[in-house]
Amino acid sequence: MSTLSVKTAKKEPKMISETGNNPDGFSLLELVISLALVSLMVGFFVVHIPGKDTGRELNEFRYELERFVVKTSRSGNAFGEDRVITVSSEKLQSDGEELAVPATVELSVQRSKGGEFNRPDPFDWVFHPGGLIEPLRFRLESESTSVVLSFDPLTARPVAE
């Protein structure tokens, strides 16, 4: 008796990507998503490099200086007394409060209109109760940015240049 046997070729199932029919590569959608994620990660690392925050530090000091001047002026008006801010290149002081100039920011002052900006030797900036102050212009400089800041002689509020 002879047996007849038929051999069938077993085929291994091919892995097919869920998003496409090409088993050997990635679909366009997969590549786009991967590139987007990598670019987001690179963007986060570039933004947070130390030493690149001098512009931010300058702006923060600018807003602190504006608040410091307005607060000093208002306290003088409220109590009917002269208030004084002692201005130097390292700090500004008034009534026991102090505003330090950051190491990355260079402060210079123009005391008269049309005059030059100079690093301030310590001097007193007087705020009278009626609201009159000496008109000063401050120039704040860092490695990448500079800002000129003026204050209204009556209200001591910052004036746009």
Edge-to-edge strand list for the sheet holding 83-87:
97-100, 91-94, 83-87, 123-127
Examine the pLDDT at 53 and tell me if it is beyond 70. no
Report pLDDT for 134.
Answer: 84
Examine the pLDDT at 78 and tell me if it is beyond 90. no
Domain ranges of the chain: 54-159
Q: In whole angstroms, how far apart are CA 145 and each of 47, 68, 104, 138, 148?
A: 17, 22, 11, 14, 10
Q: Is this model's pTM higher than 0.85 or not? A: no
Instruction: Using alpha carbons, select from 108, 110, 127 the residue that is nearest to residue 119.
Output: 108
What average pLDDT does the structure give for the chain?
A: 81
| Domain 54-159 top-level CATH class | alpha beta
The predicted-structure confidence for 22-41, as pLDDT tens digits, reads as follows 566 788 888 899 999 999 88
Report pLDDT for 13.
Answer: 58
Report pLDDT for 16.
Answer: 52
Instruction: Using alpha carbons, select from 64, 66, 45, 67 the residue that is nearest to residue 56.
Output: 64
